[in-house]
Amino acid sequence: MNVIGMFCTNAHVLMQGFIRIAKCSLALGDLSAADNAISAVKELSPNNAAIIPEVQKLEVIRRFDEEANKAYQKQDYRKVIMFNEIFVL
């Protein structure tokens, strides 16, 4: 196998690994790790369609997190609990 073929194979394996990291990080609620993994996938393959669902999930989770933080600042703890329960599901 030539050097270009080895690089392509390794890049694909790296990309799949980063996609798995993004999925696991989202499941655990680690938004910064998920964002880093998604950025790495985009750097390796900017037009990769496999990462789109993870990007969408990250955006939704961030929106819930922002809403929960706004509710917390207003001391509306009922909404904080509601957003956190939605986030866990």
Q: How many domains does the chain have?
A: 1
- Confidence (pLDDT) at 88: 63
pLDDT of 36 higher than 90 = yes
- Confidence (pLDDT) at 3: 39
Taking residues 50-70, report their average pLDDT: 91
| 45/28 Cα distance (integer angstroms) | 25
Domain extent for 16: 3-88
Q: Are 83 and 75 in contact (CB under 8 A)?
A: no
According to DSSP H, which parts of the chain are helical?
A: 3-28, 31-44, 52-73, 77-88
Taking residues 29-53, report their average pLDDT: 90
- Confidence (pLDDT) at 87: 66
For residue 36, what are its two tokens?
A: 């880093």
The count of residues in the chain is: 89
* Residue 8 DSSP class: H
- Confidence (pLDDT) at 84: 76
